[in-house]
């Protein structure tokens, strides 16, 4: 009769082994912030607009200029790229408010801390009413991938070329 306990013992041993060797999936702050962004957008009324583009394209400067500096909180504008980051902490501001608009000053993608594949997989394109796609300099394959999702969202969108005032006729 003891031979009947062998299959039960093997099943228990497998469960113990599976539990002991189970890998815990740890999400990066960027992934947690993208999940939080979905929830925060759901809880706000008003027009939701994403300002999206490469690092250093001028997204934060454009947001400040479009709102005449009245957006709250003010975007972080720096001399280096990646001034806006969602990769360092889960306590960062994701939304900015101006009148009845909610703006999302999206961190530049295609960097080590903000890889394009995470934006492609997790950014809530469907939650927005409109997009401002900011470009500066050369376009990259990542720009095409992100812009394709913006267009597929079937939401209003425009392309803004930053620093165009630095172009002159002599070139």
**Confidence tier at 4 by pLDDT (50, 70, 90):** low
Look up residue 154 and give its two tokens.
């079937």
Q: How confident is the model at residue 97 (pLDDT cuts 50, 70, 90)?
A: very high
Contacts of 22 (CB under 8 A, 6+ apart): none
Checking if the pLDDT of 89 tops 60, the result is: yes
- Are the beta carbons of 47 and 129 closer than 8 angstroms? yes
pLDDT at 93 exceeding the cut of 60? yes
| pLDDT greater than 80 at residue 163 | no
**pLDDT tens-place string over residues 31-84:** 999 999 999 999 998 899 999 999 989 999 999 999 999 999 988 776 666 678
User: What pLDDT shows up at residue 79?
Assistant: 60
User: Is the pLDDT higher at 136 or at 104?
Assistant: 104
The domain ranges of the chain are: 29-166
Residue 32's pLDDT is: 94
* The pLDDT value given to residue 130: 97
Render pLDDT for 107-143 as a digit per residue (tens, 0 to 9): 999 999 999 999 999 999 999 999 999 998 889 999 9
Class of domain 29-166: alpha beta
pTM of the model: 0.79
Distances (CA, A) of 67 to 16, 55, 61, 103, 161: 58, 21, 10, 10, 18
In DSSP notation, 102-165 reads EEEEPPP-SSSSS-HHHHHHH--GGG-SEEEEEE-SS--HHHHHHHHHHHHTT-EEEEEETTGG
**Whole-angstrom distance, CA of residue 68 vs CA of residue 65:** 5
Beta strands 130-135; 47-53: pairing state: parallel
Residue 122 in tokens = 């997790």
């Amino acid at each position: 009769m003891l031979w009947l306990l062998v299959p039960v013992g093997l099943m228990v041993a497998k469960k113990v082994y599976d539990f002991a060797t189970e890998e815990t999936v740890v999400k990066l702050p960027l992934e947690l912030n993208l999940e939080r962004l979905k929830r925060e957008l759901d809880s706000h009324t008003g027009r939701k607009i994403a300002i999206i583009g490469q690092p250093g394209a001028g997204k934060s400067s454009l947001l400040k200029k479009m709102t005449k500096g009245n957006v709250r909180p003010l975007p972080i504008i720096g001399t280096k790229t990646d001034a806006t980051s969602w990769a360092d902490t889960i306590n960062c501001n994701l939304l900015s408010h101006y009148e009845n608009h909610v703006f999302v000053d999206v961190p530049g993608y295609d960097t080590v801390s903000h890889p394009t594949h995470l934006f492609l997989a997790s950014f809530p394109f469907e939650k927005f009413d409109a997009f401002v796609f900011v470009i500066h300099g050369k376009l990259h394959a990542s720009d095409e991938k992100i812009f394709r999702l913006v267009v597929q969202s079937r939401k209003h969108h425009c392309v803004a070329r930053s620093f165009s005032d630095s172009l002159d006729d002599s070139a």
